[in-house]
Structure 1
């Protein structure tokens, strides 16, 4: 056999074997989600010029002063050049923006891709048909408009708004690459009760959880595809449930939805005490069981019900104890890192709360993830405050409901959906439509809508305490099975003479002995007044016969568009430093309930010359001893009065006949066993600086961009904080890729000076130094 004939036979066999083998699917592309936050250029102004500056995302359009009374509004521009891997002609390229405030116009390589209106919910720009066909540079240009717009909720002019709308690409952005057969994004797909991946459990018990997983798949290829989904629930790397469905053909240029029944045996249920989560892995397979696309995220399983008796989670009745939160930081506004979002949730959990209301708009995805992970129940809210307008505003608001539900429906932390424009004169037609939209998006029995107007469309009624009159407020509310959650309390009813809604009219009406609006620097007496206000309202609310829970106003101080001072009714200040009222709340959570809760005792007193001899001690124990200079003053159980007669853990009050310099020491007991102790010592002269940063469960890392608070405490030579100190402290960064944001130097408030530190990814070391005249300087190594 000659050589040519042999080669002919080998070639024939090769052709035959190739024809018998499965054809390679050129759509096999591994999904990639890459953070798109680096290497941006930024400028402000109506038109683009050459004045670009380098920035990273998240980013705010303007660094504001601590007290924001003339916030910048206007047009800003963002530009980024990038290379997309386009060697395979079957790739899809998407830009995903978690939030841009508040109108965004997106161009790619000079062509307009999309316009998005609304600052609090995500949107996707499909740039597949706009990027360079080769591996050439591509340019993204984004025009961001943050001017008053009555058509975009919340709609109200900033100068009369009770919070601020900080401009910029202030949340994360991602470049997502997929094949031409891919799982859609739920918001981008814009499909009722569909799009992306939807998980819902209808029947849940300790023995089993039964529900569905819905998956929406788009085929943008030029061929019909036979596909099937594979769903895995994974906990601690172990597959707890694996589910699939039959293969279905999806035509070229069309989409298809799968609905797969799922049952998890002996599920690990999610709750505030045990926030168990599953990794949900969803894959789309072709005929050869090759993966065309996959998505993974965390979710949880829990049951929920509102009955005649109250609110039940996983079959157990509970009273919801929560707070409100604005997502604002000083100086940078909304431009928080993911870790900063987590730290806020961590602090809320540390304060003893099991619930947070997202006032008055959807918060960042990282905050939602943190609530899932840490065990915080959530009331999700659409943008709105004291404003309503027919027409485009209403249509945009209804779209907010859809987008909010689609973004957050898989979070086990979300228990209520506030599809209500807060304190706004909504029409009955709007309320009926709003609830219809939510029920169409989530047509399940255990989905609960919430509205501030008592209307039958809503599942629960969520007024503020001040929306009714003293002394009973809402305690006598009785609408049968209809329940009430006090969405705000502790502020307004102690702030103004009457319970009205026009806060702007009463913005200057303050009385030191009544208001809950107390800065940390206002001193011991006024901080005790704030704590007493919250205590009295808390004690009153839990007596309501149809009240299933409440949320105080609020967790952190914040800025408002209409006022030239900081709204200071937070139980922590704008820098996240606790006030006395924080410890009241911490004391209301029973010890040993979860990993965040142990026995605690706290002396709400600085014990200095002007301190009160009436010493208030907060504790979640049964007995407290108070010592003055190691001499016992008294051992007692908590007393009850009309401000504490329904509390689980009333405060302990000790009356000291006279002030004596030295130390107060509180020792707490449970069943005669010492479990906690707190010491307060009269401070001496200012001598040193104690430097720290706000870790709150998430320390700084070299490899990550972050924004954290730096705290410089003015202490005496023994380390006691000098609460009267107002020394000017200068902060200095030692290292690269970090900067101080805010006033620097800055005066201490009640003994603590705070600035914001913004860090960028680096492989270098980083330290900070704090100095002040007449005080010992100090350095702190961060990494």
Structure 2
């Protein structure tokens, strides 16, 4: 059986290679394999004859930070990539473009020593026409990438990690000089119902010939079963060296098969471009027939039916590989969210890989694609480092603002053009929490938001736009066609109840835990919605609720914010995930906790793979390996023991090389590569074809062995092929710019989520940290607790606290406490003998580090707060 599979793989690889040398209309060739890399800035590395012999041998997708395991610090600087590509003589009359799906954050590209240009922006694809620079035979691509923080490039901040590298796939697109441009079609429905659909397609035809071309454009729409259901032919003249858009309106499609999460049916448009009596290009576009309605009073509708959105926020990075994950790994992520019973994903907080969105289309999850414009507690101006996570979302220095505006708009336009045909995308999100910005920039930030919402509606008039993280600064009121995404306490604040605009809770939960965690929903502010404490009975005006978050992810803020996922960084579910499986997938509204693995006597290891065949050697497929501690009856037990996975023979690699070691978190040698609750996992990939034998071992336990077959070419030759070098994991402790902040500004509390024991009518908990000294909070008269609590949404070292009280002629007595986890509190300030003529009181000192919560409790009968300001770093 194994021999037959290997033979098939070799045959497929040879046929694939043969396609490069025979006549073809269009070819998309993956060039992920066999690059050279150095983590440095090397002068002259772009020239063809540069000696890169001592550089690392790597393949894509790749990240500067591999191996990366959720540590808060990473390398910031430059890296160089080089690759030799072989251009067949048959391509001499072809048009060749070099396409990158994503590279972070500034990418300069050279071919044979010639500078092609650069792309700035880390989450959207780009391409260069390299036709005129190519020679038959060997050619050298050189790419200089840096992940340096830039004051005039979005994002300027974010609760995730910012590793550099070519971390998505790279392709050569080979076509005739007359062809459909890259990302060159836009398929949509001009009118649609359950009975019929009227489709339109706009197609960009690029003519790189110097002469004009009379073109015939035939487009056929195929049903999910492959039957042609509508077709159109158009004729047009495309002048030499011109790009022209043809708009085709199709005969109506009767009884359309509508796309939905429950039935993710897709249609395909095949566009054939003809000129000079022959076929010049053939281009396929996959899309869906469906429609979305967003209403302010009745919620969200899909295909005319009310549809409540239940989803998860998802970041792109995974254990070991960081951002550089395979298409198959992304698909597993989407499937895990689907398998829990959710029906949507919010792509936090940047445009995701095309393969991720394609998986949403095919598996059936509504997707919200978000632009990389956001802030995280930032009101400290321009910080000049990723490692200071509180920069102003919008540039404080006016010098940077014009280019920053261009950056936000350019990335938005690229996101829309790349992803506009995806059936799953129900709205474009413009941002996330951009209100975290310097006060003097607030007006300009809102002006940019208005500009991007208007632009998005021009670039894609078929979808509405959303303001992500709209719970501060009245940025939820930018227009009637805008959807408000409320994060955190935006679910429960009075002003966002039936707000008069389409809306949903885009982040709830934010519960922190390492696996295994707790078996609970973690509803957070969802159950604090006035009058709707039952999350299964939401208000009619709310469109949905999306948990923060689906998976643990790396972040510059450290583990406090990194471990809020239902699923851990290694893609093993926490118990919270199983709560949702029971509640959503199985429909048990009161899930009963199952029996979990318990301590036992370890006897052996179990080793399983998500798939035992990797379909190709080009970095788009891999296998997820899970190793489990078992007792003598083969039952999963919760004992944590040091485990190693080793490649005994054959091709392939872990992020750490040919071996990876997991250790219990309680051990002195514990690292970020941990075995927890008796299990560990990692993704395995291979850039050579052949059989890989992998063994799991632990001292005193019976080992486990698994075989993985990789198809394609080239074949692995044991003892001949050079195996991948080891990449030992170390927490990055190189030169970094640590967080610095002006404690005199005391802006750590501004706009953060708050809670209170009660609120007197006319006052509000949010007035205490909104920067407005004319508003305040007071508890009700009968309240015997009288407290106000603040979540900093990150961990800080606090050195200054300022309290502004409502009235100067009243005696207020209170205590101030701080907490790391909202469970254990430490009193740091006691103001029990206060003077009634001091309205603003400032306290300085070392109030502790890793502080995430602050609480002020009143002891006096009089209680209330106008403003609370906090400084630290």
Q: What TM-score bracket applies, with the shorter chain setting the length?
A: 0.7 to 0.9
| Cα distance in 1 between the residues matched to 2:574 and 2:681 | 18
The equivalent residue for 1:559 is: 554
Distance 1:721 1:202, change over 3 A: same
Q: Note the C-alpha offset of 1:466.
A: 2.2
What is the aligned counterpart of 1:293 among 246, 258, 281? 281
What is the aligned counterpart of 1:178 among 175, 180, 185? 175
The equivalent residue for 1:162 is: 159
Deviations 1:389-448 (A, max 9, x none): 22211210011111111011100100011012434446231121011110110123x434
The equivalent residue for 2:477 is: 455
| Cα distance in 1 between the residues matched to 2:691 and 2:117 | 42
Deviations 1:249-306 (A, max 9, x none): 2222222211111222211110000000122211112253x21111113211101112
Q: How many residues align structurally?
A: 625
What is the aligned counterpart of 1:747 among 658, 663, 683? 663
The equivalent residue for 1:485 is: 504
TM-score (norm 2): 0.68
The equivalent residue for 1:411 is: 422
Q: Note the C-alpha offset of 1:235.
A: 3.0
The equivalent residue for 1:711 is: 626
| Cα distance in 1 between the residues matched to 2:460 and 2:192 | 17
What is the aligned counterpart of 1:226 among 214, 220, 238? 214
Q: Note the C-alpha offset of 1:732.
A: 1.0
| Cα distance in 2 between the residues matched to 1:557 and 1:681 | 22
Q: Structure 2 matches for 1:21-40, cutoff 5 A?
A: 30-40=25-35
Q: Give yes or no for the alignment of 1:527 onto 2:527.
A: no
Q: Is the 8 A contact 2:519 2:579 kept in 1?
A: no
User: Where do 5+ consecutive residues of structure 1 fail to align?
Assistant: 1-27, 187-195, 492-515, 590-596, 600-619, 622-648, 654-677
Q: Give yes or no for the alignment of 1:734 onto 2:648.
A: yes
Q: Structure 2 matches for 1:108-507, cutoff 5 A?
A: 108-132=111-135, 135-156=136-157, 161-186=158-183, 196-236=184-224, 238-262=226-250, 263-286=252-275, 288=277, 290-307=278-295, 308-386=297-375, 387-389=393-395, 390-424=401-435, 425=437, 427-444=445-462, 446-451=463-468, 452=470, 453-457=475-479, 459-467=482-490, 472-473=492-493, 477-480=497-500, 482-491=501-510
User: Where do 5+ consecutive residues of structure 2 fail to align?
Assistant: 1-22, 46-50, 376-392, 396-400, 665-674, 710-873
Distance 1:680 1:78, change over 3 A: closer
Alignment RMSD: 2.4
| Cα distance in 2 between the residues matched to 1:542 and 1:151 | 44
What is the aligned counterpart of 1:575 among 550, 561, 570? 570
The equivalent residue for 2:601 is: 685
| 2:703 match: secondary structure | strand
Deviations 1:129-173 (A, max 9, x none): 2112xx2311111001111112221123xxxx4100121110000
Q: Note the C-alpha offset of 1:201.
A: 0.5
The equivalent residue for 1:661 is: none
Superposition misfits of 4+ residues, deviation over 6 angstroms:
none
Distance 1:763 1:478, change over 3 A: closer
| Cα distance in 2 between the residues matched to 1:155 and 1:248 | 45
Distance 1:530 1:688, change over 3 A: farther
| Cα distance in 1 between the residues matched to 2:496 and 2:71 | 40
| Cα distance in 1 between the residues matched to 2:161 and 2:406 | 23
Q: Is the 8 A contact 1:683 1:716 kept in 2?
A: no
What is the aligned counterpart of 1:651 among 577, 591, 596? 591
- Of 48-57 and 406-415, the range deviating more from structure 2: 48-57
| Cα distance in 1 between the residues matched to 2:687 and 2:316 | 24
| 1:527 match: secondary structure | coil
Q: Is the 8 A contact 1:283 1:295 kept in 2?
A: yes
| Cα distance in 2 between the residues matched to 1:454 and 1:566 | 25
Q: Note the C-alpha offset of 1:342.
A: 0.6
Q: Is the 8 A contact 2:33 2:687 kept in 1?
A: no
Q: Structure 2 matches for 1:502-521, cutoff 5 A?
A: 516-520=511-515
| Cα distance in 1 between the residues matched to 2:211 and 2:653 | 53
Deviations 1:50-85 (A, max 9, x none): 431211111112324424122112100111111223
Q: Is the 8 A contact 1:83 1:138 kept in 2?
A: yes
Q: Note the C-alpha offset of 1:87.
A: 4.5
Distance 1:111 1:710, change over 3 A: same
Q: Note the C-alpha offset of 1:721.
A: 2.0
Distance 1:164 1:679, change over 3 A: closer
| Cα distance in 1 between the residues matched to 2:651 and 2:322 | 21
Q: Note the C-alpha offset of 1:123.
A: 0.3
Q: Is the 8 A contact 1:703 1:763 kept in 2?
A: yes
Distance 1:681 1:254, change over 3 A: closer
| Cα distance in 2 between the residues matched to 1:332 and 1:92 | 34
| Cα distance in 2 between the residues matched to 1:33 and 1:518 | 43
What is the aligned counterpart of 1:71 among 74, 89, 101? 74
| 1:573 match: secondary structure | coil
The equivalent residue for 1:722 is: 637
Q: Note the C-alpha offset of 1:683.
A: 5.0
Q: Give yes or no for the alignment of 1:81 onto 2:84.
A: yes
Distance 1:77 1:687, change over 3 A: same
| 1:185 match: secondary structure | strand
| Cα distance in 1 between the residues matched to 2:134 and 2:606 | 52
| 2:411 match: secondary structure | helix
Q: Note the C-alpha offset of 1:736.
A: 2.2
Distance 1:291 1:579, change over 3 A: same
